[in-house]
């Protein structure tokens, strides 16, 4: 009963929540495992995702598998936390009563008390990492105030709440002392950071403070909402050598008709102007975006406008999703899901085919360059690394022959790019 297996589903924000929970469990004397199939732990905690249909289904299937294990006597206590139980706690209790207790994304610390784990201010900044030891996520705020028409995040995680800057600095220092070299700053909208605590956006100041922490080599910024993008963030990204020349900025669409229907708070002209300012200030910037196609009312003309946007901007990284109705959102309540599923999928495929060609062209341009590469590990005959232009798990990799020399995980090496594929690069180490 002193062994606990914590299973994490969903996004990097859930990862951070699980790591905080695991630290509290470990401080109370529990032996903690993460996503382990080789543990005899009698207590299981499942941190669920409830954002889109596929993620919800994955979470439900994981809960049901754990229930079967409980019925078979392999586990004795089962707790469910996270986004799925935040949205559907009553339904889950009725349909799956075998779970000992459900706690939401905003009340996950309830499982701490249920398990009589450690609490207290000193543990707020403690983490038990589940990522490779050389990189970690730093969640700087919770929730979102933008209320986009398709998005259930404000319904699940509530309004925007920033983590105090001093707390984030302490957490980052502890991560660096534990060997973390790359810090990936995350939130539903990182640019909104600080407005609730300090009366103004404070992301630039936070980034400056993080850059002063010894041991951190790379600081990467994810999930920046494009409306009212802070100019001082552009300035600090351009000036600070520790900040990766990389930005994840989900535009979702570019047609003014679609942006208005989605309740996005910017126009096409403003989006294009932001891209121009970013690229002018940071010429080597790698832009990552996500797009949403098939939203209610999207015409073929809207979609072609989006394709033109992708061609013009030539994003280094891009993902695209087909719209699916999420109950309780503005679009589910007020708009008709009128784009046929086959049209949605065709549009996804057309965007990805376009991006595939762009990615291949951009990769070929990097052949012959020497870039600083962080090694993530080894797979078969290759070491797997990333440049500052690629985030772990979601972006491409640089493959280095393992027979050339021994490379160390988490170390930075100068690597000459020798070949390129559509979504991978190949290289050889030229110096340490």
Q: Give me the pLDDT at residue 338, please.
A: 96
Q: What's the CA dihedral at 223, 229, 234, 240 to 10 degrees? A: -50
Give the rounded distance of the alpha carbon of 389 from its chain centre: 15
Sign of CA dihedral 162, 163, 168, 169: positive
Q: What is the pLDDT along the chain (432 residues), one digit of tens a residue?
A: 689 999 999 889 999 999 999 999 999 899 999 988 778 889 999 999 987 778 888 999 999 999 999 999 999 999 999 999 988 989 999 999 999 999 988 888 888 888 887 777 888 999 999 999 999 999 999 999 999 999 988 988 999 999 999 999 999 999 999 999 999 999 999 999 999 999 999 999 999 999 999 999 999 999 999 999 999 999 999 999 999 999 999 999 999 999 999 999 999 999 999 999 999 999 999 999 999 999 999 999 999 999 999 999 999 999 999 999 998 999 999 999 999 999 999 999 999 999 999 999 999 999 999 999 999 999 999 999 999 999 998 999 999 999 989 999 999 999 999 999 888 999 999 976
* pLDDT number for residue 1: 62
| Rounded CA separation 244/391 (Å) | 10
The alpha carbon of residue 181 and the mean position of all alpha carbons in its chain are separated, in whole angstroms, by 18
Q: What angle do CA 393, 342, 315 make, to 5 degrees?
A: 40
Distance set, CA 136 to CA 109, 126, 184, 220, 384 (Å): 21, 13, 6, 10, 17
- Report the candidate in 331, 317, 328 with the shortest Cα–Cα distance to residue 289: 317
Give pTM, 2 decimals.
Answer: 0.94
CB 139 within 8 A of CB 13: yes
* Encoded tokens for 412: 């930075």
- DSSP reduced 3-state for 350: helix
Residue 432 confidence (pLDDT): 61
Cα separation, 270 vs 164, in Å, equals 31
Whole-number Å distance between alpha carbons of 237 and 278: 10
Following CA atoms 320, 10, 288, 234 in sequence, which dihedral angle do they give, to the nearest 10 degrees? 140
Predicted pLDDT of residue 120: 78
């Amino acid at each position: 009963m002193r062994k606990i297996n914590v299973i994490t589903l969903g996004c990097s924000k859930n990862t951070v929540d699980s790591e905080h929970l695991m630290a509290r469990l470990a401080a109370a004397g529990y032996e903690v495992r993460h996503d382990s199939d080789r543990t005899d732990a009698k207590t299981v905690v499942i941190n669920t995702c409830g954002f889109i249909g596929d993620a919800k289904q994955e979470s439900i299937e994981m809960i049901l598998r754990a229930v079967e294990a409980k019925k078979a006597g392999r586990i004795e206590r089962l707790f469910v936390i996270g986004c799925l139980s935040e949205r559907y706690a009553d339904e889950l209790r009725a349909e799956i009563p075998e779970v000992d207790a459900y706690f939401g994304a905003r009340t996950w610390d309830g499982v701490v008390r249920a398990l009589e784990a450690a609490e207290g201010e000193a543990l707020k900044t403690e983490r038990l990492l589940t990522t490779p030891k050389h990189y970690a996520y730093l969640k700087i705020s919770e929730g979102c105030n933008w209320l986009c028409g398709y998005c259930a995040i404000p319904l699940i995680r509530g309004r925007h709440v920033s983590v105090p800057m001093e707390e984030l600095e302490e957490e980052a220092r502890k991560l660096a002392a534990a060997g973390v070299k790359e810090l990936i700053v995350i939130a539903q909208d990182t640019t909104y950071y600080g407005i609730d605590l300090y009366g103004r956006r404070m992301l630039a100041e936070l980034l400056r403070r993080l850059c002063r922490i010894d041991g951190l080599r790379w600081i990467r910024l994810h999930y920046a909402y494009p409306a009212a993008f802070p100019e001082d963030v552009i300035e600090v990204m351009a000036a600070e050598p520790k900040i990766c020349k990389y930005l994840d900025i989900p535009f979702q669409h570019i047609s003014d008709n679609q942006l208005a229907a989605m309740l996005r708070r910017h126009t096409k002209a403003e989006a294009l102007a932001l891209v121009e300012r970013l690229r002018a200030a940071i010429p080597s910037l790698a832009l990552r975006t996500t797009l949403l196609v098939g939203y209610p009312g999207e015409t073929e003309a809207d979609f072609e406008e989006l394709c033109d946007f992708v061609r013009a901007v030539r994003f280094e990284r891009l993902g695209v999703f087909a719209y699916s109705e999420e109950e309780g959102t503005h679009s589910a309540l007020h708009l008709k899901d009128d784009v046929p599923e086959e049209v949605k999928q065709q549009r996804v495929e057309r965007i990805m085919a376009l991006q595939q060609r762009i990615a291949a062209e951009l990769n070929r341009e990097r052949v012959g360059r020497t870039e600083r590469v962080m090694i993530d590990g080894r797979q078969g005959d290759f070491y797997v690394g990333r440049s500052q232009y690629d985030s772990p798990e979601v972006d491409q990799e640089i493959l280095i022959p393992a027979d050339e020399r021994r490379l160390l995980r988490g170390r930075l090496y100068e690597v000459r790019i020798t070949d390129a594929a559509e979504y991978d690069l190949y290289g050889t180490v030229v110096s340490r």
